[in-house]
Structure 1
Amino acid sequence: MGYLCLTRRDGENIRLTIDPGVDMAKLLHLLLRDGITIRIDTLGQGAVRVGIEAPKQIGIYREELLEG
């Protein structure tokens, strides 16, 4: 399992993607067994800390990094 923790403000996004070439049967098994865990902690002033734990075959990105 991979884990990413980052801060997001109102209107900012996180995108989960499946990496190309992933063994879909293995990924489905991992998702059914472990799922994806999302933790939200309030920081104040419109910001939250988001922690995401997912199988390593799932990419977790700040959406602004994927634009452009």
Structure 2
Amino acid sequence: MTTSPARVVGQLRRRTAAEFRTDENGVGAMPFAVLAAAGQIERNHIRENTLEGQGIAAAKRASGGRPKVRPRD
């Protein structure tokens, strides 16, 4: 028996993350692990880009952050 992808997605959407991790046969742990790994890869990518941008800004002697507020005269 085959099921349509739309039906599988519908069934998955009704489940919570806790239900995936506590699946009786452990199959639910796999999608959770894949998503966790993808999140970690994205985090590393953002960190690398941030450090690269900070290095470029330091080379240009640009300071980070908001400009100083000047008092009104």
Greater relative CO, 1 or 2 (CA 8 Å, sep 6+)? 1
Which TM bucket (shorter chain)?
A: under 0.3
TM-score for both structures, normalised by structure 2 = 0.23
Larger Rg: 2
Larger strand proportion of the pair = 1
Q: TM-score, normalised by structure 1?
A: 0.24
